[in-house]
Amino acid sequence: MTYVTYYYYKYFTRVNPLPCLFPFPLIDIFPYVYLWFNGDIISFVDYCYEKYGDIYEVYGSVRSIILCRGEYLDDFSSNNTHEMKFRNCQGAEELGLQGKGLSLNNDYKSWMFNHHFFNQAILSPRFTTEAIDQTNKLFNELEIYWTDEVLKSMEFINQRLDAIIKSRREEIKKTPLDEPLPHDMLTSMIIKNTLRDDNYIHTGVTMSEAMRSMSDTEIRVNILDGIHTGTYKTANMLSLIVYYIAHNPDVKRKMLKEIDSIFQGRRDMVYMKFILLKFGGNLPNFHGLLHISMKFPVFVEMLWKYYAN
Tell me if 303 sits within 8 A of 286, measured CB to CB: yes
Residue 187 CA, chain-centre distance (Å), reads: 22
Between CA 147 and CA 139 the distance in angstroms is 14
**According to the model, what pLDDT value does residue 289 have?**
46
Distance of alpha carbon 109 from alpha carbon 100, whole angstroms: 10
- Check residue 71 and give its pLDDT: 56
- Exposed / middle / buried, residue 219 (Cβ in 10 Å: 0-12, 13-18, 19+): buried
Residue 150: how many other CB atoms lie within 10 Å: 12
Evaluated on CA atoms 257, 263, 268, 274, the torsion sign reads: negative
pLDDT value, residue 295: 43
pLDDT of residue 46: 78
**Residue 263 · residue 218 · CB < 8 Å:** no
Q: Residues in the chain with pLDDT < 50?
A: 81, 83, 206, 284-300, 302-304, 306-308
Which neighbouring-strand residues pair with 59? 63
Which residue, 284, 289, 76, 47, is CA-closest to 302? Answer: 289
In angstroms, rounded to a whole number, what is the distance separating the alpha carbons of residues 302 and 304? 5
Query: Cα(298)–Cα(293) distance, rounded to whole angstroms?
Result: 9
Long-range contacts (CB closer than 8 Å, 24 or more residues apart) made by 245-253 = 247/301, 248/304, 248/305, 248/308, 250/308, 251/304, 251/305, 251/308
Q: What is the pLDDT of residue 294?
A: 44
49, burial (CB in 10 Å: exposed 0-12, middle 13-18, buried 19+): middle
pLDDT at position 292 is 44
CB contact set of 230 (below 8 Å; sequence gap of 6+): none
- Looking at residue 81, its pLDDT comes to 47
Residues 6+ apart with CB under 8 A from 292: 299, 300
